[in-house]
Structure 1
Amino acid sequence: MSIPTSRTKESAVILIDEQLCIGCGLCVEVCKGFNLSLQKGKVISINSVYGCIACGHCMAICPKEAIKIDGRCLSSEDLFSLPQKTNSSAYEEVLNLFQRRRSIREFKAVPVEKEILEKVIEAAQTCPMGLPPSDVNLIVFNSPAKVRKFAEDFCDYLKGIKWLVSEWFLRLMRPFWGKANDELFKGFVRPTIDLYLDNMEKGINLVNYDAPAALYFYGSPYSDPADPIVAATYAMIAAESLGLGTCMLGAVHPLIQNGKAARKFRESYGIRYKSREGLFVIIGYPKVEYHNGIRRTFASIDVR
C-alpha cells in the first residue's frame, strides 16, 4: 500500500546495483520506511507497510551511487552533489539575516527581476515536507499590475461574502465555534475586511500593498498543513538574502476556502484546491530602511 498525494498514488521503485553495492548498510540505517535490508553483505529491497515514499535518503547517502529511486516524481537525475560545508553560512551570519528581517510593506517602484524570482523559487523548493512528493502549489504574480488586479478582484469578492461577519451571523455561530473564534472574527476578521474595502474604495491597496511581486503558497487535500508555511518561509528568507524586502500575508487564504463564491474565486485564479493552510509572500525592493530590531519571544519555553 502506498501513501496517496495529489501528484501520485503509487510507491516508488528501488533499483539496487549489486555490483556497486559494498554492503556498508548506510542506506538501511537512514531508510525509515523500512524498505531495505542488509543480507549476506548486500542490500536488498523488501516489502514495507507504505512502500517507498521516494524521500531519496538512500540515494543521497550511498557512497557508490548503487541505489536509484524511480517514481513518485523522483529519479536518479534529481541527484546532485552537495555544496561543501565551507560554503555554508555560519550561525552568526544566519542569525544576522534573521535579525535584519522586517515585514516590509513599502516598496520602491522597481520591478523584481525574473532571475531573482527564479532564485527565490529555487530556494523555496529545497524546503522539507511532511511527505514527498511536495503537495505545495505556487502562484507567481510577477508584476505590480497583476498584484493590484488580484487585490481588486479579492475586494469585489469580499463584498459578496460580507454577511459572514455580520452581527447576526456571528451571534448565530458563537455556540458552534466557541469564544476564541468569536473574538477573532469580531476583533480581526471583520475590521480587516472593512479596512480592505473602505481603503480600496479610496484607491489604497491594503490587501497586498501594490507590491512589485507576490508568491501564493497553498497545499492540497493531501498535504501536511505545515508544508505551504515552510515553503513560504524559505522563500521569504531567500528573498531577504537577495536584498529584497518581504512580508507574509495570512488574511487572504482563509477567506477563499469555503463556499461557492470562494470556489468560483479560486477557479478564476487557477487555484487548484481548497487547503487548510496557505500564505502570500509579497516581495520588492524596500523603500524604507530600519535601523533597529525588535526582540521577540515565544509564548512559552518548557525545558523537560
Structure 2
Amino acid sequence: MAIPTSRVKEKAEIKINEEKCTGCGLCVSVCKDFGLELENKKVKSSPNPLFGCIGCGHCMAICPSNAIEIHGRELSPNDLFDLPGQKDAATYEQLLTLLKRRRSIREFKDLPVEHELIEKILDAAKTAPMGLPPSDVNVLILDNQEKVRAFAKDFCDYLDGMKWLVSTWFLALMRPFWGKANDELFRGFVKPLFHTYTNNMRKGVNLVNYDAPLAMYFYGSPYCDPADPVVAATYAMFAAESLGLGTCMLGGVHPLIQSGKRAKKFRESQGIKFPSKEGLFVIFGYPQVTYHKGIQRTFASVVTKK
C-alpha cells in the first residue's frame, strides 16, 4: 500500500533498463524501501518492498548508467539535474559567515522585493529535505505592502472575535487540562501578544507583520511531516539573506488560526488550504537598519551520551 499525501495516493513506478544496468548495486544500497534487489548481476524490482516506491528518486539519482527511471508521485526523469561540483560549494566558513550575519529585521525600506528575487527564494526553499515526497508544504505569498497589511488587519479583526481565548475565566478553566507550562505561556506571552496586535492595529500600527514588502507563510497538510514547513521556511530565510534581504520569522500567527470554525473561515478567506501542525510566516525586505554586532546564542543543553 502506498503512503498517501495530499497530492498523491499511489506508489511510483520503477522502470529498469536491463541493457544499461551494470549491476553495480548502488541503487539497491540507497533504497530504504527495499524495493530493489540484484539478481544475476542485474537490478530488478523487489517483490516485497516496505511501502512501495515513495518517489524519493535516490536510485535514479545515483545510477551511473542512467538505467533507472521513476515515474509518479510528481517525479519523472525530467526532474533530474547535474549536481554542482564540490569546488562550487560554499565552504564552512562562508556558510557560518552567512548564518552569523543574519539578524531578525522588522524595519524595512519602502522598496518592493523584485519578482526575480521571490522566485530565487522559492527555488532555494524547494531544495529543503522533507519527511516524505512529494512535498506537502504549501506557501502563501503576500508580495507587496498592501497585501501584507490587509492580512494583518484581517487577522486582528479575527482576534477581536476570539478575546475569550485569553480571558481570565478561560485561562483558569484550562490550566488543569493543559498544565503549568502552557498556562505560563498563555498568560505571559499569548495574552499580551493578543492585545498588542489588536490595540496597535486600531491605532494604525501593524505589529503583526510590520508592513513588510513581502511575506511568505509556509504550512503543511494533514499528511505533512510537522517539520517540513519549518525547514522550508528556514531555507527561504537564508536564501533571502544571501540575496541582500532582511528577514524575520513570525511565530505569533500560525498557532492562532488552526482550530475551530472561525479559524477555518479565516484560513479560507486568505486562501490557506489546510490547517497545519506546524507553520511559519517569514517577512522579507531591504533592511532600513544595519547591525554591527552579533549575539552569541546557546542551546538549553548539549549532552553526549556515554
TM-score (norm: length of structure 2): 0.99
Deviations 1:245-282 (A, max 9, x none): 00000110000001111000000011111011000000
Question: How many pairs align?
Answer: 304
SS at match of 1:140: strand
Instruction: Report the CA distance between 1:162 and its aligned residue.
Output: 1.0
Q: Aligned equivalents of 1:13 and 1:217: distance in 2? A: 30
Q: Aligned equivalents of 2:9 and 2:180: distance in 1? A: 40
SS at match of 1:15: strand
Q: Aligned equivalents of 1:7 and 1:231: distance in 2? A: 18
Instruction: State the partner residue of 1:220.
Output: 221
Deviations 1:119-168 (A, max 9, x none): 00000000000011100000111001000000000000000011110000
Instruction: State the partner residue of 1:189.
Output: 190
Instruction: State the partner residue of 1:12.
Output: 12
Instruction: State the partner residue of 1:173.
Output: 174
Deviations 1:156-212 (A, max 9, x none): 000001111000001011111111111100000000011001111111100000000
Instruction: State the partner residue of 2:293.
Output: 292
After superposition, residues 113-124 of structure 1 pair within 5 angstroms as 113-124=114-125
Identity within the alignment, %: 67
Q: Aligned equivalents of 2:294 and 2:22: distance in 1? A: 53
> Which letter maps to 2:116?
E
> Which letter maps to 1:44?
K
Q: Aligned equivalents of 2:156 and 2:252: distance in 1? A: 12
Instruction: State the partner residue of 1:233.
Output: 234
> Which letter maps to 1:125?
K
Instruction: State the partner residue of 1:2.
Output: 2
After superposition, residues 1-304 of structure 1 pair within 5 angstroms as 1-47=1-47, 48-304=49-305
> Which letter maps to 1:225?
P
Instruction: Report the CA distance between 1:84 and its aligned residue.
Output: 1.1
Q: Aligned equivalents of 1:90 and 1:49: distance in 2? A: 38
- After superposition, the CA RMSD in angstroms is 0.5
Instruction: Report the CA distance between 1:80 and its aligned residue.
Output: 0.6
> Which letter maps to 2:15?
L
TM-score (norm: length of structure 1): 0.99
Q: Aligned equivalents of 1:42 and 1:203: distance in 2? A: 69
Deviations 1:219-256 (A, max 9, x none): 01111100000000000000000000000001100000
Instruction: Report the CA distance between 1:46 and its aligned residue.
Output: 1.4
Q: Aligned equivalents of 1:192 and 1:19: distance in 2? A: 64
Instruction: Report the CA distance between 1:111 and its aligned residue.
Output: 0.3
> Which letter maps to 1:108?
K
SS at match of 1:22: coil
SS at match of 2:33: coil
Q: Aligned equivalents of 2:304 and 2:173: distance in 1? A: 42
Which ranges in structure 2 are unaligned for 5 or more consecutive residues? none
> Which letter maps to 1:30?
V
Instruction: Report the CA distance between 1:49 and its aligned residue.
Output: 2.4
Instruction: Report the CA distance between 1:56 and its aligned residue.
Output: 0.5
Q: Aligned equivalents of 2:163 and 2:278: distance in 1? A: 22
Instruction: Report the CA distance between 1:14 and its aligned residue.
Output: 0.2
Q: Aligned equivalents of 1:74 and 1:297: distance in 2? A: 40
Q: Aligned equivalents of 2:276 and 2:198: distance in 1? A: 25
Q: Aligned equivalents of 1:233 and 1:49: distance in 2? A: 31
Q: Aligned equivalents of 2:237 and 2:96: distance in 1? A: 14
Instruction: Report the CA distance between 1:72 and its aligned residue.
Output: 0.6
Deviations 1:70-112 (A, max 9, x none): 0011011101111111111000000000000000000000000
Q: Aligned equivalents of 1:202 and 1:164: distance in 2? A: 22
Q: Aligned equivalents of 1:278 and 1:68: distance in 2? A: 33
Q: Aligned equivalents of 2:185 and 2:66: distance in 1? A: 53
Instruction: Report the CA distance between 1:303 and its aligned residue.
Output: 1.0
> Which letter maps to 1:43?
V
Instruction: Please list every run of at least 4 consecutive aligned residues from structure 1 whose deviation after the TM superposition is greater than 3 angstroms.
Output: none
> Which letter maps to 2:26?
L
